[in-house]
Structure 1
Amino acid sequence: MSSATLEADRLAAVPHRHRRSTRGQKAFGTVQYALLFVFSIIVLMPAYVLLVTSFKRQGDYDQSTAWQIPTTWSVEGWVAAWNTLAPAVGRSLVMAILAAVLSSVLGSLNGYIFAKWHFPGSHVIFVLFLFGMFIPYQAIMIPLSGMMLNIQDSAPWFAGVPTLILCHIVYGIPICTLIFRNYYATSVPNEMIEAARVDGATTWSTYTRVVLPVSPPGFVVTLIWQFTSAWNDFLFALFLTNQNNGPVTFGLNALASGQNPNYPQIMAGVLVASLPTLIVYIVLGKYFVAGLMSGSVK
């Protein structure tokens, strides 16, 4: 058989292989979308029950009809939930925003020092910082409560939100330090720091003029992380605050307690308490992923 015939047979076989490959890719893509649809339904089922129940009246709720759309739509549960949780939502916003910003700033400073300014014992200190991430909150809650009560005895204004802000800042510093240390070690060239030193820049001016302008991806990650952690926390709130000065998670727990729970009001309260973190992830979710990946490779 001549070489020309072999070449013709090879070219004739290419479209068939291409068609088989295309059909296989389409089938695989169809299976992927089907699985995504099934998993989405499973994940969204609880949200559906929350939503439809929140628009029912208290007398219309029954466990046997929890999946059904309300026969009479009502916003009584939403109004009652908002009136009950509005003060706690405001306190949680103040707490979560301040805790996220301050812990992120301190983590950025620590990460910059550990990544670019090596000094005797720096690795040991960094390991001790990371050790704070692995201490369970439950293990320190009793001594922490005693210490905070001693502070509140001499400074009554410190009770409530200020106490939670301090706790979330302290316990947020290790993870923020780790994130920024890895980010600066991989994304900020050492040549930039050395050039700033040659020009006579101090440690602080190098940070503010060279490092800080390229830090937004790291700040996005830590701000979202810390805001969500502070907003969703219940353990600190349970031990360190009460219903009158605690965050929204404490208020939601009080809303759900009682001998005769109002389920539409409880479901509306859950949705109200979930909205801030949902909005944060919808608005900044893509930046969160980009921030995590920006420090992953050099």
Structure 2
Amino acid sequence: MPKFWRGALYAALLVAALYYLLPLYVMVVTSLKTMDQIRAGNLLSLPTSISFEAWGKAWSSACTGVDCGGLQPFFWNSVRMVIPAVLISTTLGALNGYVLSKWRFRGSELTFALILFGVFIPFQVVLLPMAQTLGWFGIANSIAGLVTVHVIYGLASTTLFFRNYYVSIPDELIKAARLDGAGFWRIFLRIIIPMSTPIIMVVLIWQFTQIWNDFLFGVVFSAGDSKPITVGLNNLANTSTSVKEYNVDMSAALIAALPTILVYVFAGKYFVRGLTAGAVKG
């Protein structure tokens, strides 16, 4: 009987996996077809001959509104936005978590509660004050403005992750280091950071995914040459042409999703390990 239930469980998991992977399969096979093959077949049929023409067009020559330069400039805008935003928000979150867990001060719990409140603030609430702030600093409609927005909005989540992880590190370790003459920065760089690899991987993957896939901040706080990949994809999909090229649309969607897919394929196991590593205490 246990073998029967194990087999039933695996069968249910297989059905669920196929169900969730079906849209990805449709996107991939459609992107590899020509328009003649799409018209002659159906969504699930395999391409009779593989063609990467749609991928090339989506990357370099598809129209996104009045501009017909493909997704390439939007892709590199996202790269220039994501790398500094992820690194800065992760660094600041690690420092916040370190201070709030190992260098407590009067009002530290209230400070953490106020920072934590930021996790539950909807995106729409911060649009107007953030737009005013970016205007005051002269970085509206720019990559720097997008980086600033994502760092500020992501700080609550990164602080929460690091603080909960650092709570599980014994306080005696910090006290022993202080008795040996180590200060704030030496303890952080020599003791805390080397022990933080699991949670650093979690935060890097989390922030990368959130920032790369964001559309609302991208469409509100960018303009002209600063638009990220999600805005470019939306413009491409909604550009009216004489013939709707579904293969180009699917190729563009895969190009936009490829970085996050690769991150989870190659680093997904570290994400799960990192989440469970800090789950014992905190």
Provide closer, same or farther for how the CA distance between residues 58 and 149 of structure 1 changes in structure 2, counting only shifts above 3 A: farther
1:49 lines up with 2:31 in the alignment: no
Question: How many Å separate the matches in 1 of 2:85 and 2:93?
Answer: 12
Paired AA for residue 217 in structure 1:
P
User: What secondary structure is seen at the aligned counterpart in 1 of 2:225?
Assistant: coil
Q: Which runs of 5+ in 2 are unaligned?
A: 61-69
Displacement of 1:243 in angstroms is: 5.2
Q: How far does residue 69 in structure 1 lie from its aligned partner after superposition? A: 2.2
Whole-angstrom distance in 2 between the partners of 1:282 and 1:50: 18
d(CA) in 1 for partners of 2:105 and 2:14? 53
**Could you tell me how far apart the structure 2 residues matched to 1:163 and 1:262 are?**
34
Among 125, 130, 146, the alignment partner of 2:111 is 125
Equivalent residue for 2:134? 148
- The aligned residue for residue 16 of structure 1 is none
Aligned to 2:2: 25
Match for residue 271 of structure 1 among 246, 251, 254: 254
Give per-residue Cα distances to partners, 1:231-286, cap 9 Å, x unaligned.
00000011011353211101101110122332110100111111111111111111
Per mean C-alpha deviation after superposition, the further-off stretch among 238-247 and 43-52 is 238-247
Could you say which residue in structure 1 is the equivalent of 2:63?
none
Q: Distance in 2 between matches of 1:223 and 1:162?
A: 19
Q: Percent identity?
A: 41
Q: 1:70-99 CA deviation, whole Å, 9 max, x = no partner?
A: 344322210011111122112212221221
Q: Counterparts of 1:1-298 in structure 2 under 5 Å?
A: 24-62=1-39, 65-83=42-60, 84-152=70-138, 159-186=141-168, 188-242=169-223, 244-260=225-241, 261-298=244-281
- In structure 2, C-alpha distance between the alignment counterparts of 1:238 and 1:159, rounded to whole Å: 10
- CA radius of gyration, larger in: 1
* Range moving further from structure 2, 209-218 or 106-115: 209-218
Partner Cα distance (1:64, 1:139) in 2: 46
Distance, in Å, in 2 between the alignment partners of 1:131 and 1:62 is 51
Whether the 8 Å contact between 1:55 and 1:73 is mirrored in structure 2 is yes
If the length of structure 2 is used for normalisation, what is the TM-score? 0.90
Name the CA distance, whole Å, in 1 between partners of 2:251 and 2:183: 53
Deviation at 1:60, TM superposition (A): 4.0
Aligned 8 A contact 1:243 1:251 in 2: no
3-state secondary structure, aligned to 2:279? coil
Shift of 1:151: 2.6
SS, match of residue 61 in structure 1: helix
Structure ranking higher in helix proportion = 1
State the AA in 1 paired with 2:95. L
1:18 paired residue number: none
For structure 1, the 5+ residue unaligned runs are 1-23
Q: Is the 8 A contact 1:51 1:267 kept in 2?
A: yes
Contact kept? 2:141, 2:223, Cα under 8 Å: no
The question of whether the paired residues in 2 share the 8 Å contact of 1:183 and 1:295 is answered with: yes
* CA 48–122 in structure 1, closer or farther in 2 if over 3 Å, else same: same
Letter in 2 for 1:33: Y
Tell me, what secondary structure is at the counterpart of 1:244? Answer: helix
User: Greater shift after overlay, 59-68 or 207-216?
Assistant: 59-68
Evaluate the alpha carbon distance shift between residue 63 and residue 127 of structure 1 in structure 2; reply closer, same or farther with a 3 A threshold: farther
Q: Deviations over 1:106-140 (max 9, x none)?
A: 10110011101111111111101001111111112
- Shift of residue 204, structure 1, vs aligned partner: 1.5
Number of residue pairs matched by the alignment:
270
Aligned residues: CA RMSD: 1.7
Tell me the CA shift for residue 215 of structure 1.
0.9
CA distance in 1, matches of 2:227, 2:245: 22
For the residues of structure 2 that align with 1:129 and 1:65, how far apart are their CA atoms?
51
